[in-house]
Homo-oligomer: A and B are copies of this chain.
Amino acid sequence: MMIELRHLRTLVALRDTGSLVDAAERLFLTQSALSHQLKDLEDRLECTLFVRKTRPPRFTSTGRRLLKLADEMIPMVRTAERDIVRLAGGEAGRLHICIECHSCFQWLIPAIDRYRSHWSEVELDLTAGFNFEPLPALVRGDLDLVITSDPVDVPGIRYVPLFRYEAMLAVSRDHEWAGKPYIEPLELIHETLITYPVDRNRLDVFTRFLDPADVDPAAVRTAELTPMMVQLVASGRGVACLPNWALTEYLEKQTIVVLKLGATGIWGTLFAAIREDQYDSPFMEDFIQTSIETCFNNLSDIKTVDAVGGKSL
């Protein structure tokens, strides 16, 4: 019958994304490839795996049986791979992590938890780089990994892309814009913009949306933490630009609504900045891999990045 792991990974991606198109993107394949692949598998098993007419696709009992198999096996493979990587390289290392983006706690904490259980010998530390420049600290060796959406070319520093996300404008559900698909820069001219307390040239909403249109909002106020910003937005004290994945939980509670920035939206990429020399160390490689996996498990509507001057997945 010759089921291969490839087939199982495809089925899982299909379930997780809900469409062949999105599953294909996540697997770095085309929609056509997946269609053929699943058709071949169905032909060989002599049965259908899922109903294509519905959205999301409905899996048949056979499809569900294979998904069950996949859910058992893929983590086993992952664990084995990790073990092999550990057998190859040293087990110990230091991983001092710094985040620039407050929202990142949301996925970083689970990622670190998962990582720690496999790499007990790695010395982990996590700091927030709001009051200092983390990049020089990374170069010096005070830090080992910086999470940033704002790569600056520095010799010896490598940016490994984690995922792409869309920057969204959060507004109160009572706001006059609620229901609009997107807003233009000029419309912000009478609004209060709530941001993280960092330099404005490190905020996408300025560098990629307002500044190109030469627009300034009526006022800018800052808040340290995402829940606080959402609270302010919900109570009509202003609007805030945040990554889509940081907002999904509030969207579900319907305290806020979101709009695209411009008709096509503003997309960013989150990177792990590391030193060249640690690029190949097993414990680093696995941390990044674990982070990416955790992100795709926990965050909605994020996209893969092929590889931007980094190694592919």
Contacts and interface: CB of A to CB of B under 8 A. Distances in A.
Interface string A27-62: 000000000000000000111000000000000011
Contacts of A3: 5, 77, 80-81
Interface stretch (A66-74, A151-159, A208-216): A66-74
A218 interface: no
B45 A84 contact: yes
A76 B77 contact: no
A65 interface: yes
B1 A88 contact: no
Contacts of A66: 80, 84
Main secondary structure of the interface of A (DSSP, over half): helix
Q: How many identical subunits does the complex contain?
A: 2
Nearest to A6: B4
Contact of A76 (B4, B61, B73): B73
Interface residues of A, number: 25
B87 A65 contact: yes
A77 B5 CA distance: 10
Nearest to A3: B77
Contacts of A87: 47, 61-62, 65
A167 to B, nearest CB: 33
Interface of A: 1-6, 45-47, 61-62, 65-66, 68-69, 72-73, 76-77, 80-81, 83-84, 87-88
